[in-house]
Amino acid sequence: DAGVTQSPTHLIKTRGQHVTLRCSPISGHKSVSWYQQVLGQGPQFIFQYYEKEERGRGNFPDRFSARQFPNYSSELNVNALLLGDSALYLCASSFGTLAGNTIYFGEGSWLTVV
Amino acid sequence: EDQVTQSPEALRLQEGESSSLNCSYTVSGLRGLFWYRQDPGKGPEFLFTLYSAGEEKEKERLKATLTKKESFLHITAPKPEDSATYLCAVQASGSSNTGKLIFGQGTTLQVKP
């Protein structure tokens, strides 16, 4: 079975541009979360979606937005890119949001802002 | 504020030299504590979830344990292929119905042959 898949794997953007990152969860999983991981640090929570509704939002500016589609795939959008947005963006999926649900991560999308 | 601290930040072992990684946490209520392995340039790979103090889980050379304040990841007779960054994360009951994970900064393990 396919795991969590993310695209693109690597991309380079210029300051001020916009980026869209995509994620397909494990088949049967209804919850998708997004994390940002800066080099040398642990991942930081950005958003969680469950059944197409936002269930949680981390401490990130409004330039960050996301949505979940009827097939449970998800997009993360970042507007007005800053140099500090350069990071590995991770998507995680789980069946639900309750304790006992294992959370699996994709390989991530490496974003470099120049 | 919910917080996770891992120690040491980096650990170098000789092949076969057993050791432990520490994860200390402060949360309003623990729903679960997760351990992940992350290789350079890759996403985190799930290892274990622990839910209550006293719980233990094992996988090959790895054993995870949990107390009310911390978790340990014991590595027995490590091999060079165990070299990676090990991440600890907690899911807090104060997060309502979200699955938000709060991560530590990780412990980078290097095992020399």
Burial A68-92 (b: 16+ CB within 10 A, else e): beeebbbbbebeebeeebbbbbbbb
pLDDT of B34 higher than 80: yes
Rounded average pLDDT over B51-79: 97
Q: A33, B97: Cβ pair inside 8 Å?
A: no
Beta-sheet pairing, A44-50 with A31-37: antiparallel
Question: For A31-63, what is each residue's pLDDT tens digit?
Answer: 999 999 999 999 999 999 998 999 989 999 999
Mean of pLDDT over chain B: 94
Q: How far is B113 from chain A (nearest CA, A)?
A: 25
Question: For B81-108, what is each residue's pLDDT tens digit?
Answer: 999 999 999 998 765 556 789 999 999 9
Residue A2 banded pLDDT, cuts 50, 70, 90 = confident
Interface of A with B in 48-77 (CB under 8 A): 48, 50, 55-56, 58
Residue B3 has what pLDDT?
Answer: 93
